[in-house]
Chains A and B, each alone.
Chain A
Amino acid sequence: MRFGVVRFPGSCDEVDALRACERFGEAELLWHGDPDVKGVDAVVIPGGFSYGDYLRCGAIARFSPVMEAVGRFASDGGPVLGICNGFQVLCEAGLLPGALLPNTGRRFLCRQVELEVTSADTPFTGACAVGQVLSIPVKHTSGRYYAPPQMLRELEAEDQVTLRYRGGQNPNGSARDIAAVVNRARNVMGVMPHPEHAVDPLTGSTDGGRLFESLVAHVGGPVPA
């Protein structure tokens, strides 16, 4: 199992994501300027920032050469996980439905939150049980998931909402407490909280590891002890 973690200019959680992936498989960085995902088994678009995000989060990154390759990889069924800014990039790129708006509190917010798994039928949550609670931190300014009402109904009807903030813990005003969604084909997921910051008992919880474990199980590689 080999993960590829994209590095844009200004990315800042890419090394954290790389190290998290390395706990569960092999991993390498993918440079934004290379239109190639180098044969990896899964792509992670990390959190942080991309190209400064001065225009709109993810609006520039979607045009980078590597995103062309990520688009092809996704359309061929390869699993793509976008975390935080990566979620924003995937929405901008049209690989995921909806958009991420500024938090209702209008401020950057860094906080440990509890998430409830609402679909385990994806490559990213397969190792979880529906209803399982995961403690994972959020940190973002624009994490309020938005989709038009009709699209929200379709997302729920198609079981595309994979993680929700637990009752009372929605940190940003996301529609229907949505913290993560998958595309219709279920191989692209955007998650606003940071699973890569929840893989080490020394620095917090290890619940984020369930997402990486799910990917490894999906791809079929051995899980290191």
Chain B
Amino acid sequence: MNAGTAESAHRVLGLTDAEHALIVEKLGREPNGVELAVFSLLWSEHCAYKHSKRLLARLPVEGPHLLMGPGENAGAVDVGDGLAVAFKVESHNHPSAVEPFQGAATGVGDILRDVFAVGARPIAILDSLRFGELSSPRSRYLLDGAVAGIGHYGNSIGVATVGGEVYFEGPYEQNCLVNAMCLGVAPKERLIRSAAAGAGNLLVLMGARTGRDGIGGASVLASAELGEDDAAKRPSVQIGDPFEEKKLLECCLELLDLGTLASLQDLGAAGLSSSAAEMASKGEVGIDLDVSAVPLRTEGMEAFEIMVSESQERMLCVIEPARWPELEAVCSRWEVRATVIGEVTTTRRLRVFDHRVGTGGDALVGDMPVSALVDDCPLYDLASSRPDGQIYPPPPRVLESEAPQEVLPALLGSPNLSSRRPLFEQYDCLVGSRTVRRPEQCDAAVLQLVPDGAAAGIAVSIDGNGRRVACDPYTGTVEAVLECTSNLACAGAEPLGLTNCLNFGNPEKAHVAWQLERSVAGMADALTALGVPVVGGNVSLYNESGDGPIYPTPVVGMVGSLPAGDRVPGIGFADEGHLVALVSPRGFSASLPGSELAKLHGEALPDGLPEIDIEAVRECIDLVRAAARSGGIATAHDVAEGGLAVALAECCLAGGIGASVVLPEPESSLAALFGEGVGRFVVAGPRPGILALGERAAPIGTVGGQSFELNGACKWGLGELREASGGLASAFG
């Protein structure tokens, strides 16, 4: 390989000339083909976070319940009773845009492995999806494929999909978002880290054979913009096999229970290269790895292909040599392939051997310092600047009316607000016997930690709103964190930790860099105010196409603790005669710009949202959480997209019972009915429980009947509202 082709090779693999020069300096020579392939992946945005690492340092990562923070396969929090909950969210955006079924399915497979890699049994999946407008055939195709893919993997492996969210907005037309979150539960002492240790210990590859699928996925798909030849990238998308993963999961958990494993790591982006380098780096050791020992799916794979393949359903572990018979016995019982492919050394180098090409030293086909691979990738400061005005075009106008009587059904029928039933019914939300509140029963999914066990449980929610963040990256992100906290509060849960997935466009563009900086600042400030740490997450950049960047979309997932699962309020109004009250923060006023109604009216996105008084919102969140825990209320629902009227209608629909509500003067404007802003809640219950909430909870009406009456001026039958909200079914044929 001469210098000329080497230079073009590194560019093809996504490395800059300066990065290539740095690799040459670290190695003291030109990298060979294997080394260049490994470096190109480990130094990709997806693995090295080179454009985001410095920013992410702003996020709080300490908390009283934290057991494992960022850097491990998944973060973990202490939920009491000797149990830990591990969780993480990750994106599979570009693979899903290229092949939605397998892209979404393997996104679920990936995040499940991250969770059982730390020793936790996966118990729940949530997903956060974004597509272009539902009127677009491409969006419906992607939606259908992604939902089927998520269901295929989660249902088949037997992990309940308990919640999620989906929005449809023009800027996601070419670049959809598929973020999957998984949480798992483990006895605290079973949590395991991925650091390799003990020179002479064996490196064992478990699970599926290695094939050519997913070659270069991290660099080809995850770290570059989408273009017109995306169909040609399909060979870069991995294929999922949930049956293989189910066996691998049970096998790994049994090995962990036996104490067989010294460390465990999943194979995700960049395959063996990344997993081996990460394990060696964390353990401050070296690894010798023999690619000729790796079981292959296809004959004749080259060494570099084996090192970078992203074939699914594989795990890497380190064991003491004496433990091999024990590991072999368990793997054989579960019919899981296990192969020794290397050993731990003291060299602090990742050395790759290929005994198909030679023996002894001649077999050495790659030799790289671990620190160069993991720590020396250059980090970039973002060159950011605030754009001059709003960069996104106004959404198409689809609603003319401004009459509340017509606006409410239009909002309930809009793709962003309509019932998610046609979607979540495609997911098994029950397997595991932990699901205390199913989708659309409560703002957060509620799970008992031990089936049939004590009443203690957890609540979990995943949230994000790209359009609001596009209006104001700082405030929109604060809203996302507070919204997620609000959802937990409606179940009575106190947040223990947060995982995030930052979905943004190309960070090398100044306006995207600005969105990213402001968004992270908002997340940091909101989390600091709430005292909630980030336990880990994922950054997905370069989400853009020829039409421009996606809406900036930070997605947050939170897990909260719940003292008693049996008295969790629901979204639905419960009983005739219950008092309805509106909890709202001091000084709050709802606003229409950037709202769902503004979207239906085709109004331009504002350049900024009203500032949020986080403390005032927190006061309401604390109030609702305490009320939910007290058992004094039957209904709690946060007022989110579509505003107060939509929230009330949702309470009626979920409970199958109507309500009559009168808002105090002068609260009858469109802004009062449909304006948005975080921090308000609808609560309902027996009169004493509601009146006990104090001045922040203003009584506004009574539950009863089969219609929803508002201000004595508008009235909708429940049947009419239900029909309006049922529109999403048509998207699934």
Chain B positions within 8 Å of A107 at CB level: 148, 151, 426, 732
Q: How far is the CA of A204 from the CA of B151 in the complex (A)?
A: 21
The residues in A between 179 and 225 inclusive whose CB is less than 8 angstroms from any CB of B are 194, 196-197, 200, 202-204
Of the candidates A20, A52, A109, A204, which one forms a contact with B241 in the assembled complex, judged by CB atoms under 8 Å apart? A52
Chain A: number of interface residues, binned into ranges: 20 to 34
> Is A49 engaged at the interface, CB distance under 8 Å to the other chain?
yes
Q: Is the interface of A mostly helix, strand, loop or mixed?
A: mixed
The residues in B between 617 and 632 inclusive whose CB is less than 8 angstroms from any CB of A are none
Stretch at the interface among B430-438, B537-545, B691-699: B430-438
What 0/1 readout, one digit per residue, does chain B (448-467) give for beta carbons within 8 Å of chain A?
10011001000000000000
Stretch at the interface among A6-14, A88-96, A119-127, A156-164: A6-14
Chain B positions within 8 Å of A15 at CB level: 432-433
Contact B732 A139 (CB under 8 A): no
Chain B positions within 8 Å of A111 at CB level: 425
Q: How far is the CA of A10 from the CA of B334 in the complex (A)?
A: 10
Chain A positions within 8 Å of B246 at CB level: 9-10, 12, 49
Chain A positions within 8 Å of B244 at CB level: 52
Of the candidates A9, A16, A204, which one forms a contact with B334 in the assembled complex, judged by CB atoms under 8 Å apart? A9
> Is A166 engaged at the interface, CB distance under 8 Å to the other chain?
no
Contact A52 B148 (CB under 8 A): no
Give the one of A10, A54, A197, A200 with max B CB within 10 A: A10
> Is B428 engaged at the interface, CB distance under 8 Å to the other chain?
yes
With A13-B431, A16-B431, A203-B433 given, is the CB distance from A108 to B155 under 8 Å?
A: yes
The residues in A between 35 and 86 inclusive whose CB is less than 8 angstroms from any CB of B are 48-49, 51-54
Chain A positions within 8 Å of B155 at CB level: 108, 139, 141
Contact B429 A202 (CB under 8 A): no
The residues in B between 555 and 590 inclusive whose CB is less than 8 angstroms from any CB of A are 565-566
Contact B243 A9 (CB under 8 A): yes
> Is B138 engaged at the interface, CB distance under 8 Å to the other chain?
no
With A108-B427, A202-B565 given, is the CB distance from A10 to B247 under 8 Å?
A: yes
Contact A202 B436 (CB under 8 A): yes
Chain A positions within 8 Å of B438 at CB level: 204
Chain B positions within 8 Å of A23 at CB level: 452
Q: How far is the CA of A52 from the CA of B434 in the complex (A)?
A: 23
Contact B425 A109 (CB under 8 A): yes
Chain B positions within 8 Å of A110 at CB level: 424-430
B185 to chain A, nearest CB (A): 13
Contact A12 B158 (CB under 8 A): yes
Contact B335 A9 (CB under 8 A): yes
A18 to chain B, nearest CB (A): 10
What 0/1 readout, one digit per residue, does chain A (95-139) give for beta carbons within 8 Å of chain B?
000000000000111110000000000000000000000000101
Q: How far is the CA of A200 from the CA of B155 in the complex (A)?
A: 21
Q: How far is the CA of A41 from the CA of B45 in the complex (A)?
A: 59
Q: How far is the CA of A194 from the CA of B243 in the complex (A)?
A: 21
> Is B339 engaged at the interface, CB distance under 8 Å to the other chain?
no
Chain B positions within 8 Å of A137 at CB level: 430
Chain B positions within 8 Å of A200 at CB level: 433, 451-452
Q: How far is the CA of A204 from the CA of B565 in the complex (A)?
A: 13
Q: How far is the CA of A112 from the CA of B429 in the complex (A)?
A: 11
B125 to chain A, nearest CB (A): 13
Chain A positions within 8 Å of B424 at CB level: 110
Q: How far is the CA of A107 from the CA of B149 in the complex (A)?
A: 11
Q: How far is the CA of A203 from the CA of B566 in the complex (A)?
A: 9
> Is A2 engaged at the interface, CB distance under 8 Å to the other chain?
no
Chain A positions within 8 Å of B732 at CB level: 107
Contact B430 A52 (CB under 8 A): no
Contact A9 B247 (CB under 8 A): yes
Q: How far is the CA of A108 from the CA of B431 in the complex (A)?
A: 14
Of the candidates B242, B432, B448, which one forms a contact with A202 in the assembled complex, judged by CB atoms under 8 Å apart? B448
B494 to chain A, nearest CB (A): 20
Contact A52 B242 (CB under 8 A): yes
Q: How far is the CA of A19 from the CA of B156 in the complex (A)?
A: 20
> Is B157 engaged at the interface, CB distance under 8 Å to the other chain?
yes
Contact A12 B448 (CB under 8 A): no
What 0/1 readout, one digit per residue, does chain B (630-663) give for beta carbons within 8 Å of chain A?
0000000000000000000000000000000000
Contact A194 B156 (CB under 8 A): no
Q: How far is the CA of A137 from the CA of B439 in the complex (A)?
A: 14
Q: How far is the CA of A20 from the CA of B425 in the complex (A)?
A: 23
Give the nearest-CB partner of B144 in chain A.
Answer: A107
With A110-B428, A137-B430, A203-B430 given, is the CB distance from A19 to B452 under 8 Å?
A: yes
Q: How far is the CA of A11 from the CA of B716 in the complex (A)?
A: 47
B506 to chain A, nearest CB (A): 36
Chain B positions within 8 Å of A10 at CB level: 156, 243, 246-247
Q: How far is the CA of A29 from the CA of B428 in the complex (A)?
A: 23
Q: How far is the CA of A53 from the CA of B157 in the complex (A)?
A: 12
Contact B430 A139 (CB under 8 A): yes
B441 to chain A, nearest CB (A): 10
B191 to chain A, nearest CB (A): 21
Contact B451 A19 (CB under 8 A): yes
Q: How far is the CA of A9 from the CA of B158 in the complex (A)?
A: 12
B381 to chain A, nearest CB (A): 47
Q: How far is the CA of A200 from the CA of B434 in the complex (A)?
A: 10
Q: How far is the CA of A20 from the CA of B431 in the complex (A)?
A: 12
Of the candidates A12, A19, A52, which one forms a contact with B431 in the assembled complex, judged by CB atoms under 8 Å apart? A12
Chain B positions within 8 Å of A108 at CB level: 151-152, 155, 426-428
Contact B425 A52 (CB under 8 A): no
Q: How far is the CA of A137 from the CA of B431 in the complex (A)?
A: 11
Q: How far is the CA of A49 from the CA of B424 in the complex (A)?
A: 20
Contact B436 A203 (CB under 8 A): yes
Chain A positions within 8 Å of B565 at CB level: 202
Those 6 A-B pairs whose CB atoms lie nearest each other, nearest first: A12-B158, A52-B243, A16-B433, A197-B430, A10-B243, A139-B428
28 example contacts (A-B, Cβ-Cβ < 8 A) are as follows A9-B243, A12-B156, A12-B431, A15-B433, A16-B432, A19-B452, A48-B158, A52-B242, A52-B243, A53-B156, A53-B243, A54-B243, A108-B155, A109-B425, A110-B425, A110-B426, A110-B428, A111-B425, A137-B430, A139-B428, A139-B431, A141-B155, A197-B430, A200-B433, A200-B451, A202-B455, A202-B565, A204-B430
Known: A52-B244, A204-B430. 12 other contacts (CB 8 A): A10-B247, A23-B452, A52-B242, A107-B151, A108-B426, A109-B426, A110-B426, A196-B433, A197-B430, A200-B433, A203-B434, A203-B448
